[in-house]
Amino acid sequence: MNDCIFCKIGRGETQTAVVYEDELVIAFDDISPQAPVHTLIVPRAHYEGPGDGLPSDLMSALCAAIPIVAEAKGVAGSGYRVIINVGHDARQSVPHMHIHILGGKAMSHGMVNFAS
């Protein structure tokens, strides 16, 4: 999608501080962080969510990036939360598959109250 902000970031058309990248995924900090560490891992290709026919190599790349990002952001040892919001009711505000990595503080057991 040409107007998708995450596609633009993945193509290098929008500047952002990159935390991690490879040929399939890119990770960068959320512009509206909900925790001291709030980083997104995004496929470079456009997929709206995990039910959108993600190739297995892309899902593997997304999952492989999680511990790399956690280490880079300094939360691998203390712990972090991994979230994928899918659809409107889950408050997925950008219709492009992305994984949230949240950490840097003790989290509550309740529902996470944020959109992105």
- What SS3 string covers the chain? CCCCHHHHHHCCCCCCCEEEECCCEEEEECCCCCCCEEEEEEECCCCCCCCCCCCHHHHHHHHHHHHHHHHHCCCCCCCEEEECCCCHHHCCCCCCCCEEEEECCCCCCCCCCCCC
Identify the pLDDT of residue 116: 44
List the domain boundaries for the chain: 5-103
CATH architecture assignment, domain 5-103? 2-Layer Sandwich (3.30)
Return phi, psi of residue 62, to 5°: -60, -45
Catalytic residues: 98
The model carries a pTM of 0.91
- pLDDT tens string 30-71: 999 999 999 999 999 999 999 999 999 999 999 999 999 999
* pLDDT for 115: 45
Residue type, 87: G
The pLDDT value given to residue 107: 86
Q: What pLDDT digit, counting tens, does each position of 81-116 carry?
A: 999 999 999 989 899 999 999 999 988 876 555 444
Least confident of 24-28, 67-71, 74-78, 85-89: 85-89
Question: Could you tell me if 99 and 84 are in contact, meaning their C-beta atoms sit under 8 angstroms apart?
Answer: yes
Say if residue 19's pLDDT is above 50. yes
